[in-house]
Amino acid sequence: MPAQEEVQGNNQEKIVVQLKRTGCSVMKTTRPGIKDIAAEAGVSVTTVSYIISDSPEQSFSAETKKKVHDAIRKLGYVPNMAARALVSNRSMMIGIVIPQTEQHKEFMFSNPFYGEFLSSVEYTARQNRYHVLISGRNADQTFIEVAQTRGLDGLIILGMYLDDHCAELKKSGIPIVLVDCYCDDDDFHSVQIDDRQGGYMATKHLLEKGHSKIAHVTGQLMGQGVNQQRMWGWRKALEEAGITYKKSLLYDGEVSFEHGEKTGLTIAKKIRKSGITAIFASADIIALGLYKGLKKGGVFIPNDISVVSFDDTWLANIYDNGLTVIRQDVALKGKTAVEIVLEMIQKGSLEKRKITLPITLVERGSVCRR
């Protein structure tokens, strides 16, 4: 009989024995379990299980807890999350899905908005003993495919455009919170800001400073998404001021530094002919690119041109005198989304919540009066 057939047990044990028979020197390592912790601490397996999970249903003396935690440190015990998931029927994981609006594009971590949002989500989840799985979603992939293949307990979807995925999500049975998604449906919990009002406030501020030729630099304009909402706000403020909308003042592309830089250089080259005196940028990352592109073209903020941005991430303070911005609390947005999805997981269902967080205008040094 071949040697490998004589060996019983798991694959790791088979490999160890086979290596020994070939003369290799190996050290067999076994992962300490709850039974080992119980034996080391001199308590029952049940006691160890309750203390590790910090169960509110049971209380133990400080001495007993210390014995268990000392044993855990001594033996190097690491909880088996997969085993816990099988027992509790929960993975203790929340998914964060950010749709990719363009094929073959890398994830948008260059935009600090996502960093602030994800940092808040991860911290809030961790404080509640949950882990976070971050994923993009290709245009040909469904949200539920992402959630079900990972066995997620809940899902936070950021920036979904209104499409047929709404019907798919309703049937999933997974606790879901939509963030920055203009999906006009009472079946979903949502957290967002009034992006249209933000675009209006930014443009209105520039109008009040005497500007009338105001360009708008933004990302892709799709469906009823965030970029579209902010663009509509820009147009509304112009129309209220009696200024006719001109397509030539709209520069849409990607929410990226590169798009901002390219557009800034374009505007700088034709600034005298176009008469543009101000720009409303739909994101700080775009505004920073604008600053560089304008400067390359010999146009300077705010002496030659004024700029109002959106978000108020740390990038807003890189510019010498700071960017005037429409500020949203990105961290609060992430925290609120996690709290709702965790409550859904724990309670099963909740009265639908549509939370709109406040926005404010923060004046700094990127706007001059005409």
Tell which CATH architecture fits domain 93-192+331-356.
3-Layer(aba) Sandwich (3.40)
Q: State whether residue 269 is helix, strand or coil.
A: helix
Predicted confidence (pLDDT) per residue in 26-53, tens digit: 444 567 888 888 998 999 988 887 787 6
Res 52: pLDDT: 76
**In the predicted structure, residue 59 carries a pLDDT above the cut 90:** no
Please compute the mean of the pLDDT values over residues 288-315 and round it to a whole number. Answer: 96
Q: If we measure between CA atoms, which residue out of 267, 368, 268 comes closest to residue 321?
A: 368
Tokens found for residue 141: 């992939």
Task: Give CATH 3.40.50.2300 domain extents, the chain.
Answer: 93-192+331-356, 195-329
**In the predicted structure, residue 134 carries a pLDDT above the cut 80:** yes
Q: State whether residue 237 is helix, strand or coil.
A: helix
Q: At what angle do helices 284-296 and 112-127 cross, to 10 degrees?
A: 160
- Alpha-carbon gap, residue 237 to 251, rounded angstroms: 17
> Kind of pairing, strands 154-158 and 189-193?
unpaired
Q: Measured over all CA atoms, what is the biggest interatomic distance in the chain, rounded to whole angstroms?
A: 92
Residue whose structure tokens are 């050290």? 27
CATH class, range 195-329: alpha beta
List the 176-179 sheet strands across, edge first.
Answer: 131-137, 93-99, 154-158, 176-179, 189-193, 354-357
Least confident of 4-13, 290-299, 300-309, 342-351: 4-13
Q: State whether residue 181 is helix, strand or coil.
A: coil
Q: Name the band, by pLDDT with cuts 50, 70 and 90, for residue 4.
A: very low
Full-model pTM:
0.76
**HSE toward the beta carbon, residue 104, CA cutoff 13 A:** 0
- Alpha-carbon gap, residue 206 to 20, rounded angstroms: 77
